[in-house]
């Protein structure tokens, strides 16, 4: 189920997906989902979770793909964030919606590559979050989607993962090149 404030704008999408998916309010969608995905405008993430309803988030895994991108335009291709360096959007959300289990994932790759990424080798998805059980769920999903997973630790590690979106977008804004993903090389 895809949550939205405006069913109208998703009418064509719904026609295409038919019975395979549904549209709901943020509240209906959060109540319906066993695993939730937060993929909203960063400045509206808190508002969207308020609309989802605190009770509907309780003990749920929330895959957090959002980035704290400010409304100000990029500077020489570098996105501007509304968070400070020693904080992150996911930490703020985890603190406020403390009964949900946030896991940062999918935030530093374009939507075209989130499922079945086609590169010469398997790309790496960096994840983090406070709940090992929630990270296990997300790791399984990422494996099915064709990703290698690098668990970077607890919620604070989102301070390092969220800015990867700036790096990912740089070739895009500077050279209109959007066909890449990150890979962690290890010995």
CA 175 to chain CA mean position, Å: 24
Closest contact distance (angstroms) between CB of 66 and ligand NAP is 4
Q: For residue 102, what are the contacts with CB-CB under 8 A and spacing of at least 6?
A: 38, 62, 64, 90, 93, 94, 129, 130, 134, 155
How many residues at the interface with ligand NAP, by CB under 6 A? Answer: 18
Q: What share of the chain is helix, strand, coil (3-state, %, to 5)?
A: 45, 15, 40
Q: Quick one: 47 or 99, whose CB is closer to ligand NAP? A: 47
- Determine contact, residues 68/74, Cβ cutoff 8 Å: no
CA distance 77 to 106: 21
Q: Which listed residue (15, 76, 85, 111) binds ligand NAP by CB under 6 A?
A: 111
Q: Quick one: 110 or 171, whose CB is closer to ligand NAP? A: 110
Does 181 contact ligand NAP by CB under 6 A? Answer: no
Closest contact distance (angstroms) between CB of 35 and ligand NAP is 16
Binding mask 27-56 for ligand NAP (x = CB under 6 A): ------------xxxx-x--xx--------
Q: Which listed residue (110, 146, 153, 172) binds ligand NAP by CB under 6 A?
A: 110
CA distance 21 to 122: 28
Does 66 contact ligand NAP by CB under 6 A? Answer: yes
Q: Quick one: 80 or 132, whose CB is closer to ligand NAP? A: 80
Burial profile 116-153: b = 16 or more Cβ within 10 angstroms, e = fewer: ebeeeeebbbbbbbbbeebbebbbebbeeebbebbbbe
Q: Which listed residue (1, 4, 27, 153) binds ligand NAP by CB under 6 A?
A: 4
Q: Quick one: 153 or 172, whose CB is closer to ligand NAP? A: 172
Does 5 contact ligand NAP by CB under 6 A? Answer: yes
Pairing of strands 23-24, 35-38: unpaired
**Positions in the binding site for ligand NAP (CB under 6 A):** 4-6, 39-42, 44, 47-48, 65-67, 69, 106-107, 110-111
């Amino acid at each position: 189920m895809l949550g939205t404030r405006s069913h109208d704008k998703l009418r064509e999408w719904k026609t295409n997906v038919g019975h395979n998916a549904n549209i709901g309010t943020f509240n209906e969608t959060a109540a319906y989902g066993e695993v939730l995905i937060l993929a909203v405008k960063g400045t509206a993430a808190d508002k969207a979770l308020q609309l989802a309803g605190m009770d509907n988030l309780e003990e749920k895994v929330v895959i957090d793909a959002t980035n704290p991108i400010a409304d100000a335009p990029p500077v020489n291709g570098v996105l501007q964030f509304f968070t400070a360096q020693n904080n992150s959007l996911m930490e703020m959300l985890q603190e406020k919606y403390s009964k949900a289990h946030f896991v940062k994932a999918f935030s530093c790759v374009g939507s075209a590559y989130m499922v079945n990424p086609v590169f010469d080798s398997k790309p790496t998805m960096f994840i983090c979050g406070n709940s090992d059980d929630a990270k296990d769920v997300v790791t399984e999903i990422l494996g099915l989607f064709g990703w290698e997973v690098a668990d970077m630790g607890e919620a604070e590690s989102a301070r390092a993962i969220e800015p990867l979106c700036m790096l990912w977008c740089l070739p895009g804004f500077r050279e209109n090149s959007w066909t890449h993903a990150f890979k962690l090389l290890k010995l």
